[in-house]
Structure 1
Amino acid sequence: MGHCFCKPRNDDDDEDELQVEFAGGNVHLITTTDVWDEKLSEAKRDKKIVIANFTATWCAPCRVIAPFYCELSEEHPSLMFLMIDVDELTEFSSSWDIKATPTFFFLRNGRQIDKLVGANKEELQKKIKYVTG
């Protein structure tokens, strides 16, 4: 399976600032609203619940929970895990009324069934257990 890891963004950035990168696993990076629509259609077709993680590269709690989120994606292949960078898709993120990062939305057939604000590993696990029955 894939791995989640953090690495320095580039030489121009502060050495302590990290960018979360997801490779493999079941986490899909959403870079456009078209990709979002495709993934939601795919999830609906495959009858998968979507967990959408609205995150930011500068957000320390986001960086802390990212590897755990990736692990969860590998443990729960029946779910679809998405990641949206609020700075890359600003208008889209605003349409979801994101007030803090990370914010996780749980969607079934494109409709919100639950939400979690903050990098709370235990709560995230509980909500995943709840939505998967």
Structure 2
Amino acid sequence: MSASAAFRRTLLTSASRLSRPATNNTFSSFTRTASPISRSSQAPFSKAPARHFSATMADKEGVHNLTSRADFDTAMATKDTLMVLDCFATWCGPCKVIAPQVVKMSDTYKDARFYKIDVDDVPDVAQELGVRAMPTFFLFKNGEKVSEVVGANPKALEAAIQNNV
């Protein structure tokens, strides 16, 4: 038998194995004997919309979320207290990394008020402030900007807070 004839015979044998119906020792027998998935009578998920990670973390810890222009204006109206504003985005990795450290700072510096604002949810505020990178932290006192920290740099943020408290 020639090499090409042997090769054709191997191909035909392999093809015939693939076209055979499943037998008891193959996947079909496994699917028949596998235990069924238990079904609960309760719905697996709540119908309430899920809150964003930063919202659930911040509301419990002293960093308050500003979700509208009106919220921002109200926060800016208070006087004689340092206001730390974290301009973040939900898709921003460094924003997620620094968030727990900002929460700790809010516990440490009780004389300052900490806020977060999602630049995608309130773009007019982000544009007015000139946010070009996330995270960007603005520090305000009596409605005036006193400092700005760009990037996830906790040491620089803490130094700016200490200088302005």
- Report the CA distance between 1:106 and its aligned residue: 0.6
Q: Which residue in 2 is equivalent to 1:70?
A: 103
Say if 1:48 and 1:80, in contact at 8 Å, map to a contact too. Answer: yes
| CA distance in 1 between partners of 2:125 and 2:59 (Å) | 23
SS of match in other structure, 2:133:
coil
- Counterpart among 117, 126, 138 of residue 93 in structure 1: 126
- Counterpart among 111, 117, 120 of residue 150 in structure 2: 117
Give me the CA root mean square deviation.
1.3
- Report the CA distance between 1:28 and its aligned residue: 1.1
Matched, 1:104 2:153: no
Any unmatched runs of 5+ in structure 1? 1-17
Q: Report the TM-score when normalising by structure 2.
A: 0.64
Q: Which residue in 1 is equivalent to 2:159?
A: 126
Matched, 1:30 2:63: no
| CA distance in 2 between partners of 1:39 and 1:97 (Å) | 18
| CA distance in 2 between partners of 1:97 and 1:131 (Å) | 21
| CA distance in 1 between partners of 2:72 and 2:143 (Å) | 10
Larger Rg: 2
- Report the CA distance between 1:20 and its aligned residue: 2.4
Say if 1:19 and 1:58, in contact at 8 Å, map to a contact too. Answer: no
Q: Report the TM-score when normalising by structure 1.
A: 0.79
The structure where strand makes up a greater share of residues is 1
Q: Which residue in 1 is equivalent to 2:90?
A: 57
Q: How many residues align?
A: 112
Any unmatched runs of 5+ in structure 2? 1-51
The structure where helix makes up a greater share of residues is 2
Identity of aligned residues (%): 30
Q: Which residue in 1 is equivalent to 2:75?
A: 39
